[in-house]
């Protein structure tokens, strides 16, 4: 698709990058069929092709409006662009489009305040005490707030053994207070396989929350801080990988190299960090070999797996958890219908677009519950919390189930 960049964008990196992405789009509309917001709303402008067209208009100098902003806001950034036969990198394009539109279209005060509170609050050190307080008074909270506050659960002990093989793990910003067992379980499972888990104290939020709420400079600052925190471990060759157990963080850290490509001081370090980054499920082939003889308590119950968009589309990691869990003797399946669709969590989307988000959640739960699972498994804290808010069936990270099947748990 040819784009005649308006003068104001011709010399901007964003304009040039967007133009290169747009050039690949042949306007075929294959992507529309798999887009969750198009499926819910049936409006071309709420599908990828329509949004691409809106962004092209802005780049060519047409003034964006609140309506343009609304259609871009409604996008889940679920990365279902993987259905595109031309390889259009829609995810990068929509980040650029949102930034350019927000430069020209102001938001009502309440909306701006909510977005500010999310981008500053979630990665803040105050989030953990606020969550602890919320968990204490959880039974008294109104439903909308209770949905965001998971019940308090114990993290268990972290292993203390040393191993020659070491990995770094990102603890994340909200995960340690919302579901601390995910990080502990990761360390225990790796320990059982002879791999030591290190964490860098100064590493924090991966930067996705700020980046996708249009504070791209704030997001990049968090990315540089993580690189600085990890670099001594990487440079010394002490760690063989940087492990992510939240697929939303994983997809972001794997893109540090792309996002910081024009930053002379960080570009090569960022590329190295992205190269070393792995979702924990990428270790499953070797974990199966190491752990199979040790698994004593593998549940025989039916498990339903919801692959997050950031895992199956963003990182293109499809089928690994199901395949390797089956090899380990678990009874696991994905939904037979719409397994590719987003659950509606999508970072801060469930707060900013609750109506669409809860429709998608209930649709997803309906498909998962058809198999009458004893537990629902997923791979991202956002999806886990969001799905749990709509069902009594326990929703857990798959690493917690693997951990619980080990004898020491
Ligand atoms: S993004 Fe890809 S699938 Fe969608 S209209 Fe463009 S070329 Fe077709
Ligand atoms: S990222 Fe998801 S919601 Fe957004 S346009 Fe693509 S498929 Fe639709």
Say which DSSP state 135 is in: H
- 347 within ligand 2 shell (Cβ under 6 A): no
CB of 357 closer than 6 A to ligand 2? Answer: no
Q: What are phi and psi of 191, to 5 degrees?
A: -60, -45
The protein residue with its alpha carbon nearest to ligand 2, atom 7, reads: 35
Indicate if 127 and 27 belong to the same structural domain. no
Question: Ligand 2 atom closest to Cα of 34?
Answer: 7
> Atom of ligand 2 at shortest distance to CA of 74?
3
The SS3 call for residue 357 is helix
Which atom of ligand 2 lies at the shortest distance from residue 80's CA?
A: 7
- DSSP assignment of 372-401, as one string? --SEEEES-HHHHHHHHTT-SS-EEEHHHH
132 and 228 part of one domain: no
Of 51, 84, 104, the domain-final residue: 104
Rounded to the nearest whole angstrom, what is the distance from the C-alpha of residue 185 to the centroid of ligand 1? 40
Q: How far is the CA of 379 from the centre of ligand 2 (A)?
A: 20
pLDDT of residue 409: 47
**Cβ-Cβ contacts under 8 Å for 18 (sequence gap 6 or more):** 3, 9, 55, 59, 93, 96, 97
Query: Which residues contact residue 173 at a Cβ distance below 8 angstroms, ignoring those fewer than 6 apart?
Result: 122, 123, 127, 204, 205, 206, 209
Q: Measure 94 CA to ligand 2 centroid, in angstroms.
A: 9
Give the residue from 270, 265, 180 showing the smallest Cα distance to 223. 270
Give residue ranges with CB within 6 A of ligand 1.
25-31, 48-49, 52, 84, 86, 88, 90
CATH code, 176: 3.40.50
Q: Is the CB of 48 under 6 A from ligand 2?
A: yes
Q: Report the residue among 81, 314, 344, 353 best suited for mutation to probe ligand 2: largest number of ligand atoms under 8 A from its CB.
A: 81
Give the whole-angstrom CA distance, residue 180 versus residue 123. 16
CA atoms within 13 A on the CB side of 57: 14
152 located within any domain:
no
Transcribe 10-31 into DSSP letters. HTSHHHHHHHHHHHH-----GG
Mark whether 90 and 119 lie in a shared domain.
no
Mutate to test the pocket of ligand 1, among 20, 22, 31, 87 (most ligand atoms within 8 A of CB): 31
Q: How many angstroms separate the alpha carbon of residue 25 from the centre of ligand 1?
A: 5
Instruction: Name, in order, each residue with C-beta under 8 angstroms of 124's C-beta and a sequence gap of 6 or more.
Output: none
Angle at 87 between CA 218 and CA 347, to 5 degrees: 35
Q: pLDDT tens, position by position, for the chain (409 residues)?
A: 889 999 999 999 999 999 999 999 999 999 998 899 999 999 999 999 999 999 999 999 999 999 999 999 999 999 887 779 999 999 999 999 999 999 999 999 999 999 999 889 888 888 777 777 788 878 877 777 777 788 888 888 999 999 999 999 999 988 888 899 999 999 999 999 999 999 999 999 999 999 999 899 999 999 999 999 999 999 999 999 999 999 999 999 999 999 999 999 999 999 999 999 999 999 999 999 999 999 988 889 999 999 999 999 999 999 999 999 999 999 999 999 999 999 999 989 999 999 999 999 999 999 999 999 999 999 999 999 999 999 999 999 999 999 999 986 4
Beta bridge partners of residue 278, listed in sequence order: 243
For ligand 1, what atom is nearest to the CA of residue 90?
A: 1
Degrees to nearest 5, angle at CA 362 with 356 and 365: 140
Determine, yes or no, domain membership for 29: yes
Using most ligand atoms within 8 A of CB, pick from 28, 56, 90, 91 the residue to mutate for ligand 1: 28
Q: 345 in a domain, yes or no?
A: yes
Q: What is the pLDDT of residue 331?
A: 96
Q: Do residues 338 and 304 make contact, with C-beta atoms less than 8 angstroms apart?
A: no
Residue 268 sits in the same domain as residue 326: no
Q: How far is CA 130 from CA 125, 258, 389, in A?
A: 9, 34, 19
**Are 310 and 356 members of one domain?**
yes
Q: Are residues 20 and 97 in the same domain?
A: yes
Distance between the two ends of the chain, CA-based, in angstroms? 56
Question: Among the residues of 236-353, which ranges form H helices?
Answer: 247-253, 256-259, 267-276, 284-291, 309, 320-327, 349-352
174 shares a domain with 249: yes
CATH of the domain at 46: 1.10.1060.10
* Domain stop point among 282, 312, 345: 282
Q: Which atom of ligand 1 is nearest to the CA of 24?
A: 7
Choose which residue among 21, 25, 54 to substitute to test ligand 1 binding: the one with the highest number of ligand atoms within 8 A of its C-beta: 25
Answer for the pair 201, 232: CB distance below 8 angstroms, yes or no. no
Nearest CA to ligand 1 atom 8: 28
- Whether residues 258 and 211 fall in one domain: yes
Do residue 226 and residue 333 come from a single domain? no
Domain boundary among 53, 78, 104: 104
Shared domain for 226 and 302, answered yes or no, is: no
Residue 316: CATH number of its domain:
3.40.50.1860
Judge whether 158 lies within some domain.
no
State the total domains in the chain.
4
Residue 276 and residue 374 in one domain: no
Interval between CA 367 and ligand 1 midpoint (Å): 27
Cα–Cα dist 115/237, whole Å: 39
- Domain assignment of residue 154, yes or no: no
Q: 169 has which bridge partners?
A: 243
Q: Is residue 233 part of a domain?
A: yes
Q: Does the residue 287 lie in any domain?
A: no
Ligand 1 atom with the smallest distance to the CA of 28 is 8
Q: Say if CB 85 and CB 28 are below 8 A apart.
A: yes
Domain span at 367: 294-404
What confidence score (pLDDT) does residue 164 get?
97
- Residue 201 maps to a domain: yes
Residues 21 and 85 reside in one and the same domain: yes
């Amino acid at each position: 698709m040819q784009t005649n960049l308006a003068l104001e964008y011709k010399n901007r990196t964003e304009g040039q990058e967007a133009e290169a992405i747009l050039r690949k789009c042949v306007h075929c509309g294959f992507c529309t069929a798999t887009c969750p917001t198009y499926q819910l709303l049936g409006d071309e402008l709420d599908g990828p092709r329509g949004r691409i067209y809106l962004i092209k208009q802005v780049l060519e100098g047409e003034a964006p409006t609140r309506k343009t902003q609304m259609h871009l806001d409604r996008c889940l950034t679920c990365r279902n662009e993987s259905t595109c036969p031309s390889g259009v990198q829609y995810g990068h394009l929509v980040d650029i489009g949102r930034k350019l539109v927000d430069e020209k279209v102001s938001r009502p005060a309440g909306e701006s305040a909510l977005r500010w509170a999310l981008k500053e609050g979630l990665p803040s050190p105050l989030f953990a005490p606020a969550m602890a307080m919320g968990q204490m008074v959880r039974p008294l909270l109104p439903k909308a707030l209770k949905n965001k506050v998971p019940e308090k659960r114990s993290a268990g002990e972290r292993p203390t053994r040393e191993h020659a093989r070491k990995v770094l793990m990102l603890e994340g910003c909200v995960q340690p207070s919302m579901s601390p067992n995910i990080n502990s379980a990761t360390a225990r499972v790796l320990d059982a396989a002879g791999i030591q888990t290190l964490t860098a104290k100064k590493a924090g939020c991966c930067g996705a929350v700020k980046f996708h709420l249009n504070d791209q400079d704030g997001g990049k600052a968090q990315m540089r801080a993580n690189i600085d925190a990890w670099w001594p471990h990487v440079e010394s060759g002490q760690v063989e990988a940087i492990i992510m157990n939240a697929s939303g963080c994983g997809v972001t850290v794997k893109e540090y190299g792309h996002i910081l490509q024009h930053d002379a001081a960080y570009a090569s370090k960022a590329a190295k960090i992205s190269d070393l980054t792995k979702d924990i499920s990428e270790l499953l082939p070797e974990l199966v070999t190491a752990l199979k003889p040790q698994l004593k308590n593998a549940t025989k119950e039916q498990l339903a797996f919801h692959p997050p968009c950031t895992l199956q589309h963003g990182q293109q990691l499809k089928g690994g958890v199901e395949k390797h869990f089956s090899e380990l003797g678990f009874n696991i399946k994905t939904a037979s219908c719409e397994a590719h669709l987003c659950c509606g969590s999508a970072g801060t989307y469930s707060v900013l677009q609750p109506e669409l988000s809860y429709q998608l959640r209930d649709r997803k739960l309906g498909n998962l519950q058809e198999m009458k699972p004893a537990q629902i498994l997923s791979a991202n804290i956002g999806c886990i919390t969001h799905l749990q808010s709509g069902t009594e069936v326990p929703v857990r990270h798959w690493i917690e189930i693997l951990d619980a099947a080990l004898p020491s748990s």
